[in-house]
Structure formats: C-alpha cells, structure tokens
C-alpha cells in the first residue's frame, strides 16, 4: 500500500458517498511528475542549468541548423508565454548561449539563434538527460513504456 492508497482509504472511510478513484491516477501522476522533475533538476544542476534553460536550448537544436527561431515560435515550441520566453532569453543571452538578431522578414522582430557555446552545452547535457529519463523508466518493459506514453498522450489532449 502506497501513500495514494492510504489517502483513498481515508476518503472512502470519511466520505463513503463519494468515489475517490480518480485520485488514484491523478495523485500518482502528480507524485511521479514531482519525482521526475527532481531527478531531471539534479541532472541539469550538474551542468549549471535549469529545466527552462534546457527547454530553450533543446527547442532551438531540434529545429536543425542554423538553430534559429523567432521568440513567438520559441514560445510555441517551449509551451510558455512570450513574456516567459523573453525573461529566459535575457538570461541565456547574458550567459552567451543565444543571441538575438534582427529578423530580416520583420523589421521590428528578432531571431533567436543558438551560439556555439549554447550548442556545446546542450550536446553535453542531452546524453545525461536521456540517461536520467531511461533510468526513471527502467522498471517498465518497452511495451509498457509505449502504452504509458499513449495513455498520457490521451490525458494531455
């Protein structure tokens, strides 16, 4: 019996008129997300970055060379607001991981470009990041991972 099972038992005893079974999934999903975030944060910290830094750098690298996006495209890729992207970019630019240049297609806009230092950092972090994720999922078979990914995709729709 885990923590979530104990919570469910308590709710069943206190409120037998209600069905707390959704808590079995949502509670465990929340606890799993916390554990995953903590493990990934340790990996990122070893490289002097955080999850948001990794997210921006990875979003740029996934585009392929020359590793450029507009801030709006970056916000969409990173699934954050444009103001959150602006704050991240200010920090990353000061660290030398990205640079902002004029957008030739939009005189008022900017292009965010990954620097050589930013690409090198991501190249160092990515293998360890993937190993951390693999380690977190090693208790599952390949088939279970595929099924879990599919179920979570449906939940996120």
Q: Which domain holds residue 27?
A: 1-45
State whether 81 and 131 are in the same domain: yes
**Four-point Cα dihedral 98, 103, 109, 114, nearest 10:** -10
Are residue 25 and residue 55 in the same domain, yes or no? no
Residues in contact with 7: Cβ distance below 8 Å, sequence separation at least 6, in sequence order: 20, 23, 27
Query: Is 85 found in the same domain as 26?
Result: no
Domains identified in the chain, total number? 2
> What's the predicted TM-score (pTM) here?
0.86
Q: Are residues 73 and 138 in the same domain?
A: yes
pLDDT for res 14: 96
Instruction: Assess whether 34 and 77 both reside in one domain.
Output: no
Structure confidence by residue, pLDDT tens digits, 17-69: 999 999 999 999 999 999 999 999 999 999 999 999 999 999 999 999 999 99
pLDDT reported for residue 59 = 94
Is the distance from CB of 128 to CB of 90 less than 8 angstroms?
no
The CATH number of the domain holding residue 129 is 1.10.10.10
pLDDT for 78 equals 78
């Amino acid at each position: 019996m885990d923590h979530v099972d104990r919570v469910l038992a308590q709710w069943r005893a206190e409120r037998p008129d209600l069905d707390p079974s959704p808590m079995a999934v949502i509670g465990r999903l929340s606890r799993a997300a916390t554990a995953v975030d903590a493990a990934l944060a340790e990996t990122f910290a070893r490289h002097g970055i955080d999850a948001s830094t990794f997210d921006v750098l990875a979003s740029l690298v996934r585009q392929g060379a020359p590793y450029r996006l507009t801030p709006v495209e970056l916000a969409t890729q990173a699934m954050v607001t444009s103001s959150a992207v602006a704050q991240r970019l200010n920090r990353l630019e000061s660290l030398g991981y990205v640079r902002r240049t004029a957008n030739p297609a939009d005189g008022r806009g900017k292009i965010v470009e990954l620097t050589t230092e930013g690409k090198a950092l991501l190249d160092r972090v990515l293998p360890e990041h993937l190993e951390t994720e693999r380690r977190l999922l090693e208790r599952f078979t390949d088939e279970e991972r595929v099924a879990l990914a599919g179920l979570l995709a449906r939940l996120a729709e």
